[in-house]
Amino acid sequence: MLPLGVIGYKSYTTSREAARFWVHLFDAASGQAMAVIEADFLGMMRTGATGGLAARVLSRESSRVAGVFGAGWQARSQIEALCAVRDLDEVQVFARKRDKLEAFCAEQSARLGCRVTPADSAELMVRSADIVVTITTASEPLFDGRWLSPGAHVTAAGSNALIRREIDETVIRRAAVVAVDARATALRESGDLLPALEKGRLAEHAMVELGELLTGMRPGRKLDADITLFESQGMAIQDLVLAVRVLEKARAASLGQSLPY
C-alpha cells in the first residue's frame, strides 16, 4: 500500500443536543489544509467496516447466521459489513424497544436484500449465531458467555469507555483469540477487557492486533470449534484512511466547497 501523504485528526463536541464529529486532513509534505469532513456518517462506516474486516479474518467461512445486539445508528453498518464478507442466511437483531426493532429490521432487509429479523430472546439468538455483534451503550454484559456455540465469533464494538461493558469474562476465557484494533488503545479504553486484565486472567501480550492478523504476523482461528473475539475501540488512522477515500470521491464528483484558506 502506498503512503497516503496526509496527516490529520478527528475532533468532536458533545452537548445535550448531540455529538458532532469532524475529520481534518492536511498535506503531510506542505502542511496545507486539504479538507474538513463532517464525520458522523464516516464514523459509522469506519466502525462497521472494521467489524466486517474482523469477521472476515476470524469467523468461519461457513457462517450463515448472525446475531446483533442493538438497533441504532451504528448497527446499520455492522450488519451491512457482515453481509458483505459472509453469505448469511439470516441476521437476528435483539433490542429493548420492540416497535423500533421491527421497523429497523424491515428497513435493513429492504436496504440490503438480506433477511434481517427481530429476535425474541437474547439467549436463543446467541445460541443459534455463528457471529455475534454487540453495538450498544450497555454498562453490564448483554449475554452469558456460556451461550456461545463452539466456533462462534464475537465482535464487541460498543465498549469504548471504562464505564461500558457488553460481554462477560466467560466470553474472554472461552476465546481462543482475543483481537483488538491496537493493544495500547484497548488498555486505555476497553471496559470489556480491563477487568480481566486487572485480575490477571488476560495478558497484554495475549491480545492480537487486527493488523497482525491481516499481515500474517500472528495466527487467528486455528480450529472450526475455536471461539474468537474482536474488541473494537476504533483508531484515528482508520478515520483518516476513510476520509482520504471520501475526499477523492468528492473531488471526482465535484462535491463540497473550497476552503477559504
Shared domain for 35 and 58, answered yes or no, is no
pLDDT in tens, the chain (261 residues): 457 899 999 998 888 888 899 999 999 999 999 999 999 999 899 999 999 999 999 999 999 999 999 999 899 999 999 999 999 999 999 998 888 999 999 999 999 999 999 999 999 999 999 999 999 999 999 999 999 999 999 999 998 888 899 999 999 999 999 999 999 999 999 999 999 999 999 999 999 999 999 999 999 999 999 999 999 988 888 999 999 999 999 999 999 988 777
How far apart are alpha carbons 191 and 112 in whole angstroms? 32
Q: Is residue 186 part of a domain?
A: yes
187, HSE (Cβ side, Cα atoms, 13 Å): 10
Residue 150 covered by a domain:
yes
* Helices within the chain (DSSP H only): 40-58, 73-85, 98-112, 122-128, 169-174, 183-189, 194-198, 210-215, 236-252
> Which of 170, 87, 160 minimizes the C-alpha distance to 130?
87
Q: Are residues 133 and 10 in the same domain?
A: no
Q: Are residues 21 and 68 in the same domain?
A: no
The verdict on 78 and 132 lying in the same domain is yes
Judge contact between 95 and 101, C-beta under 8 A. Answer: yes
Do both 59 and 14 map to the same domain?
Answer: no
For residues 14 and 104, state if they share a domain. no
- Nearby residues of 161 by Cβ (< 8 Å), 6 or more positions away: 189, 191
Three cell numbers, residue 62 = 461457513
Whether 257 is in a domain gets the answer no
Same domain for 185 and 244: no
Residues 201 and 34: their CA atoms lie apart, in Å, by: 45
Q: Which pLDDT score, from 0 to 100, does residue 2 have?
A: 52
Tell me whether residue 154 is in a domain.
yes
Answer yes or no: do 16 and 90 share one domain: no
Distance CA 119, CA 181 (A): 29
- Same domain for 126 and 24? no
**Domain span at 26:** 6-41+238-252
Domain count, the chain: 2
Determine the pLDDT at residue 236. 85
The b-or-e profile of 49-70 (16+ CB within 10 A means b, else e) is bbbbbbbbbbbbeebebbbbbb
CATH code for position 190: 3.40.50.720
